[in-house]
């Protein structure tokens, strides 16, 4: 080393040399450090235990209060059932044949219930749940599942349009009634009616007149003109089929029944009117029915004039039964069940004429001969004079 550091001896001569620590001293230092580390570890463990206890106690309190609202763990925890009563509004449509699972899925998608399981559990627990009717219902969002089941059982929550079509209405009158209730534009209804076969009419017909069955219907929000009219046509086809009418005879039955509907005031008179129509047709007589002529002109029977029935004024009216033999080309209204039944089961008799002699009570008298009929017409005129 002296060859490399020529001044090293001089350094050694001037520097104070520190004695090397003894082997025992080093052992003592290591022991002290180990003791300090163990003490720190014990203190850390105690702190962690206390913190865990604190957090555990807090977690127990939270879970005991809110635990039934949550399932899952970590970031994937989800609400299993809302406490209710909920707020806002959502409309759910229950289709025919929907199971509890299917309804629950719709409700979850709309935010009405928290989970499908919560709803299916409530559905299974409610003995009336299978009585839920098809339709559209207005419910709240974030409802308790059991409350949602009860809400669907309550028809007061149903949000559908109830449309009642009276017997004897024409198609135009029916369109107006539908528009008043559903706001479906009349133009849309008229456009849909241009294709009767697409609406379910089983035979080729000139128009939809007579095929829109008079009844009360429930239409869901968003129903189209085609859906609404199709439902009415389906009802007509079903009623005629049930009555034993073959498809190729349905239009003829509806034509006759529509005349009976507009002419008859009382149900007991309808089978007699039906028989009088059959007797006239059998004798190849002109029907000469004012209601039919008025329909062709688009006016009411009270507006009809002699000029209208004589056919002296244009335009040509194919419904002028004073001039055109046989039945009119189409029905003139939508007949009810009583009128259809009258056509299928006309009364026995030789009548060919009828006239309502009292417009307040609807009393109608029937005659076989024209002279007898004229006597009843005079009776009507007398009533009219007395009741002007």
The two structure tokens encoding residue 350: 């030789």
C-alpha neighbours within 13 Å on the C-beta side of residue 96: 1
Helix/strand/coil percentages in the chain, nearest 5: 55, 10, 35
The two structure tokens encoding residue 333: 């209204």
C-alpha neighbours within 13 Å on the C-beta side of residue 279: 19
User: How far apart, in Å, are the Cα atoms of 59 and each of 46, 49, 72?
Assistant: 20, 15, 15
Q: Are strands 161-164 and 216-219 parallel, antiparallel or unpaired?
A: antiparallel
Residue 365: per-residue pLDDT: 95
Residue 305: per-residue pLDDT: 84
Q: Dihedral through CA 170, CA 172, CA 176, CA 182, nearest 10? A: 90
Q: Quickly count: other Cβ atoms within 10 Å of residue 107's Cβ.
A: 27
DSSP 8-state secondary structure symbol assigned to residue 16: P
Model pTM? Answer: 0.69
> What is the domain partition of the chain in residue ranges?
87-157
**350 in Cβ contact with 333 (< 8 Å):** no
CA gap 333, 263 in Å, rounded: 11
CA gap 123, 153 in Å, rounded: 11
Residue 378 makes CB contacts below 8 A (sequence gap 6+) with: none
Class of domain 87-157: alpha beta
Assign 105 to helix, strand or coil. helix
Task: Catalogue the E-assigned strands of the chain.
Answer: 70-71, 78-79, 87-94, 135-141, 161-164, 216-219, 353-358, 363-367
Which of 200, 172, 198 minimizes the C-alpha distance to 186? 172
Residue 34: per-residue pLDDT: 54
Q: Quickly count: other Cβ atoms within 10 Å of residue 216's Cβ.
A: 8
Residue with tokens 């009843």: 376
CA gap 144, 82 in Å, rounded: 5
Residuewise pLDDT in 10s, the chain (388 residues): 334 333 444 444 444 444 455 555 554 555 555 555 555 555 554 445 445 545 554 444 444 444 444 444 433 346 789 998 988 989 898 888 899 999 999 999 999 999 999 999 999 999 999 999 888 899 999 999 999 999 999 988 888 888 999 999 999 999 999 999 888 999 999 999 999 999 999 999 989 999 999 999 989 888 999 999 999 999 999 999 999 999 999 999 999 999 999 999 999 999 999 999 999 999 999 999 999 999 999 988 778 888 888 876 667 889 999 999 999 999 999 999 999 999 999 999 999 999 999 999 999 999 999 999 999 999 999 999 999 8
Residue 221: per-residue pLDDT: 86
**125 in Cβ contact with 91 (< 8 Å):** no
């Amino acid at each position: 080393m002296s060859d490399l550091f020529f001044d090293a001896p001089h350094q050694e001569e001037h520097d104070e040399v520190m004695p090397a620590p003894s082997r025992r001293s080093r052992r003592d230092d290591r022991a002290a450090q180990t003791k300090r580390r163990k003490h720190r570890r014990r203190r850390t463990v105690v702190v962690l235990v206390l913190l865990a206890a604190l957090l555990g106690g807090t977690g127990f309190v939270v879970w005991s209060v809110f635990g039934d609202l949550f399932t899952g763990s970590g970031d994937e925890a989800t609400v299993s059932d809302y406490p209710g009563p909920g707020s806002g509004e959502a409309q759910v449509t229950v289709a025919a044949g929907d199971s509890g699972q299917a309804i629950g899925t719709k409700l979850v998608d709309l935010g009405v219930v928290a989970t499908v399981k919560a709803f299916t559990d409530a559905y299974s627990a409610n003995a009336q749940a299978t009585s839920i009717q098809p339709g559209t219902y207005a419910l709240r969002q974030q409802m308790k599942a059991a409350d949602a089941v009860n809400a669907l059982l309550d028809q007061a929550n149903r949000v559908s349009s109830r449309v009642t079509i009276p017997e004897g209405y024409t198609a135009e009158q029916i369109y107006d009634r539908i528009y008043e209730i559903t706001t479906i534009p009349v133009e849309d209804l008229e456009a849909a009616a241009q294709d009767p076969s697409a609406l379910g009419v089983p035979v080729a017909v000139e128009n939809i007149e007579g095929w829109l069955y008079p009844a009360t219907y429930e239409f869901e929000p968003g129903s189209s003109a085609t859906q609404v009219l199709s439902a009415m046509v389906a009802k007509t086809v079903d009623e005629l089929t049930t009555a034993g009418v073959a498809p190729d005879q349905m239009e003829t039955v509806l034509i006759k029944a529509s005349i009976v509907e507009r002419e008859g005031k009382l149900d007991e008179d309808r089978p007699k009117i039906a028989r009088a129509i059959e007797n006239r047709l059998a004798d190849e007589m002109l029907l000469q029915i004012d209601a039919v002529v008025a329909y062709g002109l688009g006016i009411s029977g009270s507006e009809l004039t002699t000029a209208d029935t004589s056919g002296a004024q244009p335009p040509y009216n194919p419904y002028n039964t004073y001039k055109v033999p046989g039945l009119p080309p189409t029905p003139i209204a939508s007949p009810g069940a009583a009128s259809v039944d009258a056509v299928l089961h006309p009364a026995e008799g030789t009548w060919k004429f009828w006239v309502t002699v009292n417009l307040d009570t609807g009393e109608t008298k029937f005659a076989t001969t024209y002279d007898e009929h004229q006597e009843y017409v005079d009776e009507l005129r007398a009533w009219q004079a007395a009741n002007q």
